[in-house]
Structure 1
Amino acid sequence: MSSEIDSSTLLSRASQLIDLAKKAGADAADAVVVRSRSQSVSVRLGKVEGTESSESDDFSLRVFIGKRVASVSANPGFDLQALAERAVAMAKVSPEDPFACLADEANLSKSYPDLQLLDTTEVSSEMLREAALAAETAALAVKGVTNSSGAGASAGMGGLVLATSHGFAGSYMASRFGHSVSVISGEGTGMERDYDFDSRLYYAELDDPSEIGRRAGERVVKRINPRQVPTGKDVTVIFDPRVARGFVGHIAGAINGAAVARKTSFLRDKMGQQVLKSGLSISDDPLIVRGPSSRPFDGEGVSGERLVMIEDGVLKHWFLSTSTGRELGLETNGRGVRGGTSVSPSSTNLALEPGDISPEELIRSVGNGFYVTELIGHGVNMITGEYSRGATGFWIENGELTFPVSEVTIASNLKEMFMRLTLANDIDRKFGVAAPTFAIEGMTLAGR
């Protein structure tokens, strides 16, 4: 990665593009450049399998003529005037969209803090190779590990350059570094696979690759010789933090304003009502210094602020961009994300705020139940809340993790699951979605 990150040239081209769009007949316009730089190395059984490096600056121009809107994309080196004229010509024949618009000028960020998102540490392909090999070597050294699915290391950065016809101009970059490894235990039909990884904004904060490898090896060895368990209709299921993060993602999807506007969320009529167990809260904060999903402004130039999306179990906010907010009769809360040529709402640093007891105390309190470490399939209906997923993990007996379990299914309805959560205190905020270990009572488990 280059130690010199300068977006001024791209910002100038974006501004020129807007001026040309206005001259071609656009009433309003915005131009965005999505920046990406990355390099990665993958290894397997001590040999390099792949080395990749990529660099891109992808331009998108969005123009508005009355209630008509059109977007075009291009790579660097395009003809500015031709692109602007093409976008305007497309907008003139596009159907009207009553909600598509730029963010209101009053909502635009006038200044924004330095969130320390960029680490300019130079990481060579040799450093990446050594890290990947160290992770794999440590994993294979764990007794009971029989093979490797591979290990990898990566370094990169990405960011946004945004200019609008009503006065916003800004840019930011964020770095990302990662180590990962996946290994196998057992032989033949008795093989099990597991993994571990770490991902950080700052290279020096990454977990040691040997530690990542050791953890992956220990995880997979524990899964050897899994059993099925009997079907039960009132089982307490504990979610390991890995799968807990995915579960919080279901909550985020249900309170996304776009899903509410499309009527594809089972919480669409629940604003101001209790949707989580009393005492539980979910926060979203785009302005955390060195936060994994922090950003000084959103894809429309609006600065968000920390919001308690669900407070003491009561739903307080949707995730909103400008157009989604207008469709719902609300104002944006700075959660707009550029996805190619469109803007849609999304979470930033999302956290299911933790409870007061340790994971060990939570497991002991369950007595008998199921501790889930991995979920399989996509059996979640976001319209009705019906939930059914294949699962693997460990059986809990007399408050202790005992034998590994596989080939079972856990099922319930998300509305009921949200009301039966009991949270531990072990939240890890290094990921964009953070959640502690938690238990859910009263689930159905389909086994043998």
Structure 2
Amino acid sequence: MIDAQTAQDRCAQALDAARRAGADAAEATAAAGSSEAVTVRLGKIEDVERSEGEEIALRVFVGQRSASVRTSDFTAQAFAEMAERAVAMARLAPEDPYSGLVDSADLAGGSRDASALDLVDPHEPSPELLRDRALAAEDAARAVAGVANSEASAASATRALVSLATSEGFSGGYGATTHALYCGVIAGEGGAMQRDSAQRVARHLEDLPPPDEVGRLAGERAVARLNPAKLPSRVMPVVFDRRISASLVNYLVGSMCGVAAARKATFLLGHEQDELMDPAIRIVEDPHKPRGLRSRPFDGEGVATQRRDLIVDGRMFGWMTNRAAALQLGLPLTGHAGKGAGGTSVSNVDMAPGTISRESMIAEIEDGVLVTHAFGQGVNGVTGDFSRGAAGFRIRNGAIAEAVAEFTIAGNLLDMFARMTPANDPETHRAINVPTLRIDGMTVAGDGE
């Protein structure tokens, strides 16, 4: 895979080609990556996969018209042809009053250095090590009483590099590695079968838990789901396990997108000053978290990223902007631009722990449900209406009881945020880390009695 200097040199060559082709301004992004994965099932290797790729994307501007092209041919002739094609396309594109590059005054300076983020693991695992880790996870899962079969167990390692350069004077790049371990198993037999899994992802291999721990968790989860009952239809407290509580915060931060606000396509519009949550709830974004899964020194437009409170005193900080959204809304840049001409993207997000334990939270519930799985995409980003299929465990008289499945949970995200109570058990290994959440008064629809 190419090194950082080669990636930056390619960006510079693409920008030079764009200028010679007649572009008024241009942006080049070089990306390279390699990955290796070993998948096993029932103690035997099922698949060994190795992939590598490199490309460069060029976005050119002719006045307020723009176009983008990509290539994996890095010769001078290919760059010239790419630039000429992009400029020709731009001249035919419609004008966009918000099209353009970030001004040099707003670009990241010294903050473009990613070395302090520690995103690159210098050790690259061998295929043999990946195989052994996948086998160890599967063995531990199959050793759990009640596990009948394996779906697959896989270990993987990836390495990526991205470099950005603009005609406004920005040039920067950074690399990152990712290590992952997955195990999925089946408990029970025939029509009573239940599936579940466990997975962990980290920048450095040493930050992953032991494979047998991941496998054992997958097995225990699958067995716990056996013989599910059905829930009655009623309004009840819903507790969201940490496996899925992050999805609720993801809906929140996704709706704080300035591009959506400019299009009037977010349910948070008009609620910028409202108390959305209990004032004690705090949600923090930290793009500079060492080894963070979404850490980055600058955004997709070259603007410096920064740590900030997304929710403080129950209120949102504002809108996440890229250049186009900032111009449309009359707001400053926030360092949230996605790659290319896309929208916005958020970095590492953590909800601060609450003051109550998960056990105490559940102990207060006479009749409710603990949700461990949610299915479907039943969330309306414009209205905030929420409805998803779910599975989990019944809560009876303050204790977790039998497994339950085939029910739906519904509400409106604004109402759900207002009634949200976090436990004091957050994890830290995900891109979005949220403790167990309790939301009272949700509508549960099932076929049980």
TM-score range, shorter chain: over 0.9
The answer for the alignment partner of 2:25 in structure 1 is 28
Match for 1:23: what amino acid? Answer: R
The answer for the alignment partner of 1:447 in structure 2 is 446
The answer for the alignment partner of 2:421 in structure 1 is 422
Separation in 2, partners of 1:56, 1:351:
32
Superposed CA offset, 1:200-252 (max 9, x none): 0011111111110001111111111110021112x000000111011111111
The answer for the alignment partner of 2:51 in structure 1 is 54
State the 1:373 CA deviation.
0.3
Preserved contact between residue 7 and residue 31 of structure 2 (Cα < 8 Å): no
Match for 1:40: what amino acid? Answer: A
The answer for the alignment partner of 1:210 in structure 2 is 212
Preserved contact between residue 4 and residue 161 of structure 2 (Cα < 8 Å): no
The answer for the alignment partner of 1:107 in structure 2 is 106
Greater mean alpha carbon deviation, residues 387-396 or residues 270-279: 270-279
Separation in 2, partners of 1:220, 1:415:
33
The partner residue of 2:139 within 137, 140, 143 is: 137
Structure 1 unpaired stretches of 5+: none
State the 1:138 CA deviation.
0.5
Match for 2:415: what amino acid? Answer: E
State the 1:80 CA deviation.
1.1
The partner residue of 2:36 within 34, 39, 50 is: 39
The answer for the alignment partner of 2:323 in structure 1 is 322
The partner residue of 1:197 within 190, 194, 199 is: 199
Match for 1:313: what amino acid? Answer: G
State the 1:366 CA deviation.
2.3
Greater mean alpha carbon deviation, residues 356-365 or residues 177-186: 356-365
State the 1:434 CA deviation.
1.0
Separation in 2, partners of 1:433, 1:312:
20
Separation in 2, partners of 1:100, 1:281:
35
Correspondences of 1:266-305 after superposition (within 5 Å): 266-305=267-306
Separation in 2, partners of 1:333, 1:269:
20
State the 1:101 CA deviation.
1.3
Preserved contact between residue 320 and residue 346 of structure 1 (Cα < 8 Å): no
The partner residue of 2:67 within 60, 70, 77 is: 70
Preserved contact between residue 240 and residue 371 of structure 1 (Cα < 8 Å): yes
1:159 equivalenced with 2:161 (yes/no):
yes
Match for 1:74: what amino acid? Answer: T
Preserved contact between residue 292 and residue 431 of structure 1 (Cα < 8 Å): yes
Superposed CA offset, 1:118-141 (max 9, x none): 112121111111111111111000
The answer for the alignment partner of 1:148 in structure 2 is 150
The partner residue of 1:226 within 216, 228, 233 is: 228
Q: Secondary structure at 2:342's aligned position in 1?
A: strand
Preserved contact between residue 324 and residue 345 of structure 1 (Cα < 8 Å): no
Question: How high is the TM-score relative to the length of structure 1?
Answer: 0.96
Preserved contact between residue 57 and residue 76 of structure 1 (Cα < 8 Å): no
Q: Provide the identity percentage.
A: 43
State the 1:428 CA deviation.
1.3
The answer for the alignment partner of 2:357 in structure 1 is 358
State the 1:358 CA deviation.
1.6
Correspondences of 1:345-384 after superposition (within 5 Å): 345-384=344-383
Greater mean alpha carbon deviation, residues 288-297 or residues 137-146: 288-297
State the 1:415 CA deviation.
1.0
Correspondences of 1:233-252 after superposition (within 5 Å): 233=235, 235-252=236-253
Separation in 1, partners of 2:438, 2:403:
18
Q: Secondary structure at 2:281's aligned position in 1?
A: coil
Match for 2:27: what amino acid? Answer: D
Deviation beyond 6 Å, 4+ runs, structure 1: none
Preserved contact between residue 60 and residue 74 of structure 1 (Cα < 8 Å): yes
Superposed CA offset, 1:133-190 (max 9, x none): 1111110000000111111000012231111111111110011001010001111111
Preserved contact between residue 282 and residue 353 of structure 1 (Cα < 8 Å): yes
Greater mean alpha carbon deviation, residues 256-265 or residues 126-135: 256-265
Q: Secondary structure at 2:325's aligned position in 1?
A: helix
Correspondences of 1:389-428 after superposition (within 5 Å): 389-428=388-427
Match for 2:31: what amino acid? Answer: V
Match for 1:374: what amino acid? Answer: H
Match for 2:273: what amino acid? Answer: G
State the 1:46 CA deviation.
1.1
Separation in 1, partners of 2:282, 2:207:
28
Separation in 2, partners of 1:277, 1:262:
28
Preserved contact between residue 44 and residue 149 of structure 1 (Cα < 8 Å): yes
State the 1:25 CA deviation.
1.3
Superposed CA offset, 1:60-86 (max 9, x none): 001111111111111133511111111
The answer for the alignment partner of 2:4 in structure 1 is 7
Preserved contact between residue 427 and residue 437 of structure 1 (Cα < 8 Å): yes
Separation in 1, partners of 2:395, 2:208:
32
Separation in 2, partners of 1:103, 1:423:
39
State the 1:405 CA deviation.
0.5
Match for 2:176: what amino acid? Answer: A
Match for 1:334: what amino acid? Answer: G
Preserved contact between residue 14 and residue 32 of structure 1 (Cα < 8 Å): yes
Separation in 2, partners of 1:104, 1:344:
18
Preserved contact between residue 309 and residue 318 of structure 1 (Cα < 8 Å): no
What value does the CA root-mean-square deviation take over the aligned residues?
1.3
Superposed CA offset, 1:398-446 (max 9, x none): 2111110011111111110010001011111211111000100000111
Superposed CA offset, 1:269-297 (max 9, x none): 21122222322122212111222210011
* Number of residue pairs matched by the alignment: 442
The answer for the alignment partner of 2:259 in structure 1 is 258
Separation in 2, partners of 1:98, 1:333:
20
Separation in 1, partners of 2:89, 2:262:
26
Separation in 2, partners of 1:69, 1:192:
51
State the 1:264 CA deviation.
1.6
Separation in 2, partners of 1:9, 1:76:
14
